[in-house]
Amino acid sequence: MSKLAAPAQTLAQKLIAKACGQPHVAVGELVMCQVDLAMFHDSSGARRLKPMLEELGASIWDRNKVVQIIDHYVPEADDDARRIVRIARDWAREQALPHQYDSEGICHVVLPQKGHVRPGMLCVGGDSHSCTGGAFGAYMFGIGATEMLGVVVTGEIWLRVPKTLRMRWDGALQKGVVAKDMMLHMIARFGMNGGRYEAVEFAGQAVNKLGMAERMTLSNMSAEMGAQVGLIAPDDTTSDWLHSVAGVDLEPTFTNWSSDPHADCEEHVFDATLLAPMVAAPHSPANSQAVSAYGHEPIQVAYIGACTGAKLEDLRAAASVLKGRRVAPGVRLLVAPASERDREVARAEGLVDILQDAGASMLASSCGACAGYGSAIEGAKQVISSTARNFKGRMGSADTGVFLASPYTVAASALRGRITDPREVLA
């Protein structure tokens, strides 16, 4: 009797099958998965987990598989922030956590830069943008405090095998058009529930040409499309980045993490060549149109920050627009590098000097204004920002309208004091 061929599997199915110890899984199947890594930050971690663990009399299942990153409430601006950060620091010492990163940058950027996320892993994070890990061919998604408690105690999590929505981008992006524009275009088309809490996979020629920072932006903003994960199959770009940045050398089998050619998925096709810079108007990322629709919108603050808009490549993009120029009178340009590593490399490359010469104020490498922490945008009626969300009050003030755009577009808008197509400046 001949052996039946294994069913074709998507990347999501392969990653889940590995985590639950099965040769293959079917869409809709409910499985128990072993967790390779659990990440949380000062807001989602100790202050929530510590009292629950103590009440249960439970302990951490594997300290080597837990990472805590202090990024939300630093630098501490008030007593409440100091209390939250102190809880996180004290708990890390009590638990002897080997992997804590304090004030080194935003968790979704620091985590891969420290080599914790690799192809083939199943990871969870105490933050909705934890799906950033999918850029490395890892099944990583955000969970709440109660689910995190279960993971931290058992090292396991129940998972329903999702359907895959494949976003295939053909062609090549124009200069000044980047992953942020791709995401705003997709969110505008499908809406903020377009991912239906399924697995989104990004593929195609344009995606393959993206560097890791840009791929991280795609995976990160899968959250704004309502997906559970945003996956990209790992390749030599992934391997080279992990080696050069994190000192990680992948096993030769890392290239096995890709969807089978005939795996069942829902595919949508886009032409990258036709994409223009995109801008999302207040108060939703789905409220996006081409930048030409906003040519007369004035801005008072231009913010280049967050895990989705202030990585090294984003700082390079902004500097290419601002070099030798000054921001418009009355505009505040604020730059918060996504990690201290990215800040130091940017400084060594002369990017920080370019930004400051253009009038930028450099802020701490933390979540900052993106999470509504601090008073960076106080007093501004309209802000253009490289962050992922522009919900009313998200960045601190309910009276401020936030427009989302790429670092290219944010920088170009800072120069003119109104929303501007970066291609006009780059030309």
Q: What is the CA radius of gyration of the chain?
A: 21
| 394 close to 373: Cβ distance less than 8 angstroms | no
Give me the mean pLDDT over the 321-340 stretch: 97
Give me the mean pLDDT over the 216-228 stretch: 98
Query: 3-state DSSP call for residue 27?
Result: coil
DSSP string, 295-343: TT-B-SEEEE-STTT-SHHHHHHHHHHHTT--PPTTPEEEE--SBHHHH
Question: Distance of alpha carbon 106 from its chain centroid, rounded?
Answer: 9
Instruction: Name the band, by pLDDT with cuts 50, 70 and 90, for residue 1.
Output: very low
Give me the mean pLDDT over the 356-385 stretch: 89
pTM score, two decimals?
Answer: 0.97
Choose the weakest-confidence range: 34-43, 137-146, 329-338, 398-407. 398-407
Q: Helices in 75-211 by DSSP H: which ranges?
A: 79-95, 107-113, 145-154, 179-190, 205-208
- pLDDT of 267-295, one tens digit each? 999 999 999 999 999 999 999 999 999 97
Q: How far is CA 165 from CA 68, 194, 228, 268, in A?
A: 31, 10, 11, 8
Round to whole Å and give the CA distance between 136 and 127.
18
For residue 333, how many other CB atoms are within 10 A of its CB?
Answer: 24
Q: How far is CA 394 from CA 25, 203, 211, 399, in A?
A: 38, 31, 29, 11
- pLDDT of 59-110, one tens digit each? 999 999 999 999 999 999 999 999 999 999 999 999 999 999 999 999 999 9
- pLDDT of 336-345, one tens digit each? 999 999 999 9
Q: Which residues contact 79 (CB under 8 A, 6 or more apart)?
A: none
- Across the strands, what pairs with 290? 278
Which element (helix H / strand E) includes 230?
A: strand 229-231
Give me the mean pLDDT over the 131-159 stretch: 98
Task: Give all domains of the chain, ordered by start, each with its CATH number.
Answer: 9-275 (3.30.499.10), 278-426 (3.30.499.10)
Round to whole Å and give the CA distance between 407 and 314.
6
Buried b (16+ CB within 10 A) or exposed e, 123-146: bbbbbbbbbbbbbbbbbbbbbeee
Round to whole Å and give the CA distance between 230 and 219.
4
Instruction: Name the band, by pLDDT with cuts 50, 70 and 90, for residue 176.
Output: very high
**Percentage with pLDDT > 70 across the chain:** 99
Round to whole Å and give the CA distance between 46 and 34.
22
Which element (helix H / strand E) includes 51?
A: helix 46-56
**Percentage with pLDDT > 90 across the chain:** 91
Pick the most confident of 202-206, 365-369, 393-397. Answer: 202-206
Q: Which residues contact 144 (CB under 8 A, 6 or more apart)?
A: 126
**DSSP 8-state symbol, 103:** S
In the predicted structure, residue 181 carries a pLDDT above the cut 70: yes
Buried b (16+ CB within 10 A) or exposed e, 197-208: ebbbbbbbebbe
The two tokens of residue 379 are 């007093």
Task: Output the average pLDDT for the chain.
Answer: 96
**DSSP 8-state symbol, 272:** G
User: Which amino acid is present at 209?
Assistant: K
The two tokens of residue 388 are 């992922």
- Across the strands, what pairs with 165? 200, 266
Whole-number pLDDT of residue 295: 78
| 128 close to 112: Cβ distance less than 8 angstroms | no
Round to whole Å and give the CA distance between 116 and 99.
10
In the predicted structure, residue 4 carries a pLDDT above the cut 80: no
Whole-number pLDDT of residue 3: 59
Whole-number pLDDT of residue 222: 98
The two tokens of residue 223 are 């959250």
Which element (helix H / strand E) includes 50?
A: helix 46-56
